[in-house]
Every structure is written in C-alpha cells, then in structure tokens.
C-alpha cells in the first residue's frame, strides 16, 4: 500500500508542470509542501497539480553552506514537510519564486486552522534574519511582530544568535561572490 502510494506520488510529481515566471499565479492558495530546499524556500504542489517554489517573504535564512543554514532547512522541514499549507502571496521574485507568508496548522493539532506563521517561527527559533529592508513587504503590525521575534531570539541567544558574530545571508552571499571573482582573476 505504501509503495503504491509512493509510486503514485512520484508519478504525479514528475508530471506536475513548472509554471514560467509569466504564468505564476501570484495569489493566495493552498498546497502541499513537497520539498524544503533551503531555510526559506519550499516546493509546493497545489490543487491543480502545479508545482511552484515559494520563498518565505520578509525573512532571510542562512545559506546552506553557511553556519546554521542546514539547521534552518531542517527546522523548516520539521514544520512543513508533507503538510498542507496556505500561502499568502502578493508577488514573485526574479528567480521564479512566489514570495509569500506561509501558514500551517500547529504540529500538535492537525485539526486546527492554519494559524502558525512559518516565516515568524523561523525568526522565533533564531534561524533567520528580519531586516528593515523587508519592512515594505509587511504591514505595520507584522513589522513589529517580526522585529520583536528576532530581538527576543537574539536576546535569548537562540540558533544563529548563539554565534558571537553571526553573518547575515546577504553579507555571506556578497563575500562569497567577491571571493569567487577574486579567484577567477587569479586563475586568469
């Protein structure tokens, strides 16, 4: 029984069309989390058997090769993998991801409403950054809640805040790109 379900699921997954950026439906929808790619990016299969990538808006988790990157991915997987979610989406990014706020039922109450904001949960666990650069994506109440969650995690030294000098992902990417450019120049 389990093997036939797994096979059926894999066939459905293989047949699921990937929308182009122009075809992305940037509106609220529900779907199932198929894969957690990174600490803030998931693959979702929607009710129309269409596969999309959703990037959790207003936060930035460590990169996979960065300290706490794998911890962030695993935490998000524990919260979302195989679960039905609601995506509150308003836009797409330049990489073909839906940018959205992801809601899921509490892990201990599967019959409850989708009341857990996964984006906020990552901040509360100390596994993502909120920055004022994200403020324009949020309402005033969300900004205050996200900023307070990050402040509390930092104060309690949770997750990446246990590091005395954590490097924000945008800085990590900038340093990595600079190092790669420098290496290319040396090898030329």
pLDDT single digits (tens) 32-81: 999 999 999 999 999 889 999 999 999 999 999 999 999 999 999 999 99
- Strand-pairing partners, residue 116, are 104
Higher pLDDT, 187 or 8: 187
Average pLDDT, the chain: 86
Name the nearest CA neighbour of 36 among 113, 127, 124: 127
* pLDDT band at residue 24 using 50, 70 and 90 as cut-offs: low
- Residue pair 116/100 in contact (Cβ under 8 Å)? The answer is no
Average pLDDT score over residue span 112-140: 93
- Strand-pairing partners, residue 127, are none
Higher pLDDT, 153 or 7: 153
Tens-digit pLDDT profile for residues 81-100: 999 999 999 889 888 899 99
- Write out the two tokens for 92: 């797409």
pLDDT of amino acid 25 = 63
pLDDT of amino acid 135 = 84
Q: Is the pLDDT of residue 173 over 80?
A: yes
pLDDT of amino acid 47 = 86
Could you give the C-alpha distances from 131 to 6, 94, 111, in angstroms and in order?
A: 40, 20, 34
Higher pLDDT, 184 or 115: 115
pLDDT of amino acid 131 = 86
């Amino acid at each position: 029984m389990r093997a036939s379900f797994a096979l059926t699921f894999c066939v459905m997954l293989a047949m699921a069309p990937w929308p182009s950026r122009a075809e992305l439906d940037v509106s609220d929808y529900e779907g199932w989390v198929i894969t957690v790619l990174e600490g803030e990016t998931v693959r979702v299969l929607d009710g129309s058997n269409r596969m999309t990538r959703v990037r959790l808006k207003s936060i930035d988790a460590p990169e996979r090769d960065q300290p706490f990157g794998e911890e962030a991915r695993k935490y998000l997987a524990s919260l979302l993998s195989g679960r039905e979610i609601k995506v509150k989406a308003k836009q797409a990014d330049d990489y073909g991801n839906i940018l959205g706020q992801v809601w899921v039922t509490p892990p201990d109450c599967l019959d409850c409403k989708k009341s857990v904001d996964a984006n906020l949960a990552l901040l509360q666990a100390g596994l993502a950054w909120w920055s004022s650069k994200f403020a324009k994506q949020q309402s005033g109440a969300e900004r205050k809640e996200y900023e307070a969650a990050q402040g509390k995690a930092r104060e309690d030294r949770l997750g990446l805040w246990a590091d005395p000098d954590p490097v924000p992902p945008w800085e990590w990417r900038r340093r990595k790109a600079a190092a790669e450019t420098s290496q290319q120049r040396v090898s030329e």
